[in-house]
Amino acid sequence: MAGIALENWVERIRDPKMECMSRDEMASLQSERLVKVVKNVYEHVEFYHNKMKDLGVEPGDIKGIEDIGKLPFTTKEDLRENYPFGLLAVPKRDVARVQGTSGTTGKLTVVPYTQNDADLWGECVARCLTMAGLTADDIIHVCYGYGLFTGGLGLDFGAKALGAMALPMSAGNTKRQMMVMEDLGATAFACTPSYALYLAESMQEAGVVDHMNLKAGIHGAEPWTDEMRKKIEGILHINCFDIYGLCEILGPGVAQDCIHHKGLHIHHDYFYPEVLNPATHAPCADGETGELVFTTLTKEAMPLLRYRTKDLTSITYETCECGRKTPRISKFTGRTDDMKVIRGVNVFPTQVETALLSLGGAVANHYMLIVDRVNNMDVLTVMVEVDESMFSDEIRKLDALRDKIGGVLKQALGVSVRVKLVEPKTIQRSEGKAVRVIDNRTM
């Protein structure tokens, strides 16, 4: 394993009372908080008042967490339709800040926070940083974007809550990122996994990996695989962690994996998780893949009931080896809106990533899926960067590699694809969320 050996890792738990509470005790706390939040939104948010009335549900019908299935769902579209402050549950004067994400209609998804909400956010991220073995003695280089996007400020708030030093670099200018990381002695860095890989490769090319003081990477905001984690770890000789969150619920810090990498621990004293069948909305059994749905239990400015994240995962309530009793979700297989149906087969970018990484050094870790419709037939082309040395080989060797990649992808996806081999750094790099799919069928 890269980084600090597991046997030498000191497990740290920031809040043992909450993170190690028994399931029955936690259910009691969740029930108390759910009853309060339902009463609050019924009385102060017209949207939820009307939604509950339409379902014939009143606050008194919600006795505890076992009644959560009686409550209405909330979707991204609901947030857009109530832009900008239609879901606000407090007077506007009590809003300390807003964060947001860009929308497909040109309107932002605006999420307000009270000061208590912002403090809670910092505490949740601090719990995640603690899972990564970080303490007040660490220096955390944040190269997520700052601004309305929650990535940069979320990690900044978490570093502050932890008592660590934050280097608020934001995204961009990779050479400057590496210089500051080296000169200021950063012990951890935070960014999207795709940019982490790009940074790692850039450090390797510049010959500065051994000059760094890094021990941990905190990466999220897009689905990624264990194979990609191990690739980054192998280059930088660190431990990498998968942090999860979404602006509508809080931002980064809703969940993260610990050193055992056996699922992401959800802070379920603040966010109640459900994993449901996306079509029937029936609860999935532990270990069964479904859509992740969250109810915020303590948020003040914009509490959300049963928010459909569109993220596909499974959940387990078994106690982790680290000692935490928080529920753990598996790494995401994708999103319901990331999935592409190719000739009747469901295809996710993460499936392609896993298959390509299984091929070893001849194939780089950068790819792009392009979907077209030719003569009423769906055609999937996968662009794959190939190691530079391969382009000096004979044509027949490239043809053999192309055939091999095509075979591996067909086995992984269940559908044949066209493979296009391209030179290194041909596919555009992203300092934010990586663009993995171009679907020309909808253009």
Domain boundaries, the chain: 6-22+112-335, 340-442
Tokens of 44: 């102060």
Assigned superfamily of 6-22+112-335 = ANL, N-terminal domain (3.40.50.12780)
Query: Do the Cβ atoms of 193 and 224 come closer than 8 Å?
Result: yes
Query: Do the Cβ atoms of 416 and 406 come closer than 8 Å?
Result: yes
Per-residue pLDDT at 378: 85
The pLDDT > 90 percentage for the chain reads 69
The separation between CA 134 and the C-alpha centre of its own chain, rounded to angstroms, equals 20
208 φ, ψ (degrees, to nearest 5): -110, 5
Per-residue pLDDT at 442: 63
Per-residue pLDDT at 3: 54
pLDDT digits (tens, 9 = 90+) for 34-53: 999 999 999 999 999 999 99
3-state secondary structure 340-359: EEECCEEECHHHHHHHHHCC
Per-residue pLDDT at 377: 76
Model-wide pTM > 0.85: no
- What's the CA gap between 428 and 434, in Å, rounded? 9
Per-residue pLDDT at 308: 96
Per-residue pLDDT at 395: 77
Per-residue pLDDT at 99: 95
Per-residue pLDDT at 104: 46
264 to each of 26, 59, 392, how far by Cα in Å? 18, 32, 43
Per-residue pLDDT at 74: 98
Is the domain spanning 340-442 CATH 3.30.300.30? The answer is yes
Longest CA–CA span in the chain (Å) reads: 74
Amino acid at 180: V
What residues in the chain have per-residue pLDDT under 70?
1-10, 102-106, 334, 336-338, 344, 361, 389-393, 430-432, 442-443
Per-residue pLDDT at 423: 86
Per-residue pLDDT at 1: 39
Per-residue pLDDT at 16: 96
